[in-house]
Structure 1
């Protein structure tokens, strides 16, 4: 018997939100994508990597917890911004027309008020960090708000998402040390390439609808060249991660564990069925495994 969740477009139905959450609150949790946590993991891992990279020994569990809470809230805020900006496009795409705003479950005004509440909570988390990290965190909003517009003006909105989603690679280091250094910038560059890879895979799900409604993406730009491009993106990411670890003075166990983790990226690039939406989604979600593998590599390089 299949265990795949029932879906309304890309929204799981009959899950914990439907079972345990009051009906009035359900659209807001779905607006945050709390029932689809992969985006939170992809936002969180660069923060955790950087905290571990900057640590003196094992990572600071208090900071790891704060970043986990912040990732949930800020990923939800980012989804809210995106859905407010894209609600007309979402209404024209089969996969997204059931989302809370295009379906009419939440109005634009309600979504904007909810966004303000999420940003306020995010600020409460941010002020728990040192002063330098506070300003670096506020600076990330310069990237967050324009993101929904990128798919209208460039074939590479995935690159802008990379700039946005991997800001934690810089913020985590500053939260530990109070300053910046080459190692987190190398990790940030690696994260951008990693995001270019996984979000290009994700974008292949919508390429037919995107083409019809005039939305741009790296999936449409690369087309049949997606496979070689993924190899290049992921190879560049692994090389920059290695350079970041070397710059941070990680010990030798970091490198073999990194190579094992890189095998997960190679599997994605070499086995992707880019015309199969289910395979694209599965490969996209599998990046959580790479995230855990790299975290293990960094911790191994610090404590062994």
Structure 2
């Protein structure tokens, strides 16, 4: 049983939490902006746990979908399902258990968020199969990862997400498409041989240019979010750091080599963190200003 649990942990990539981080940061962006500061603690815990569960479920269904492909790719041939350490039925069972757990967790939220959570499961379940049908499965992954944003707004506000939420959603979709294309560049040669489709194959020699355009659009949309949300200097400093990371990622993929492309993909964890810290610090500073202002008002009234 211990050995099986070890294989299940590898199946859902608990040893490689980068996917959790990349799903977590946009979720936290949305929660903080929706709440205009620190969100309700229960909602925050539900979303953090949901991120871990849904990313893990996505890994399980991804390996099931790629069970006949992964053994032929150098980077993935040692995964538990590809190596024959667990069965396809077990992978499906893990996906089902994690997805049901995430849906049960969503029952702690309001009815609108529960309805949106069903869409999240559908997106996560269908993404791995898209690479058989079209060259932009990365966009589908972007929608799956970004769907936590409208869910976060409905969880906090109880109403349909406003314009700023959908701008943030679009920014997350484009950002995910950009960094997952970097990831796809690592397997491009193997994918061409096997017949698997990806944005890296579709973009071809224009991959760096298109990734750069996606990065620029992401940053512009995040700037729009900052303006509409009335975010201040801390946010803009965080966004400036994100610009620096984007430029660094372009430098890493300049020769289109697998390992530097993988490092560029991994670097997006820090980009997402920089944006979140900018949001969190900005709202925290505003809260401090309000607290100080209220204290001074009460003090003046006392002396009057």
TM-score after normalising by structure 2: 0.89
Q: Who is 1:81 aligned against?
A: 61
Partner of 2:99: 119
SS class of match (1:140): helix
Number of the residue aligned with 2:42: 62
* Structure 1 residue 92, shift from structure 2 partner: 1.6
* Structure-to-structure mapping, 1:206-285, within 5 angstroms: 206-285=187-266
**2:295 is matched with which residue?**
none
8 Å Cα contact 2:54/2:124 also seen in 1: no
User: What residue is the counterpart of 1:176 in the other structure?
Assistant: 156
Contact 2:146/2:169, CA 8 A, preserved across alignment: yes
Deviation at 1:62, TM superposition (A): 3.2
Structure 1: which 5+ residue stretches go unaligned? 1-20
Q: Mean alpha-carbon deviation: is it higher for 290-299 or for 114-123?
A: 114-123
Question: Could you say which residue in structure 2 is the equivalent of 1:97?
Answer: 77
1:141 deviates by 2.3
In the alignment, what sits opposite 1:16?
none
Matched, 1:155 2:123: no
Give the Cα separation in 2 of the matches to 1:266 and 1:170: 29
Higher Cα radius of gyration: 2
Alpha-carbon distance in structure 1 between the residues aligned to 2:119 and 2:282: 30
Contact 1:187 1:244 (8 Å CA) reproduced:
yes
2:117 aligned residue (130, 134, 137): 137
Q: Distance in 2 between matches of 1:262 and 1:171?
A: 27
Shift of 1:219: 0.9
What corresponds to 1:297 in structure 2?
Answer: 278
1:286 partner SS: helix
1:187 corresponds in structure 2 to 168
Instruction: Judging by fraction of residues, say which structure has more helix.
Output: 2
Partner residue of 1:53? Answer: 33
Counterparts of 1:196 and 1:109 in 2: how far apart (Å)? 30
For residues 228 and 183 of structure 1, the distance between their equivalents in structure 2, rounded to whole angstroms, comes to: 27
CA distance in 1, matches of 2:115, 2:66: 29
SS at match of 1:230: helix
- Please, what is the CA RMSD of the aligned residues? 1.6
Given that 1:52 and 1:60 are in contact with CA atoms closer than 8 Å, whether structure 2 keeps it comes out as no
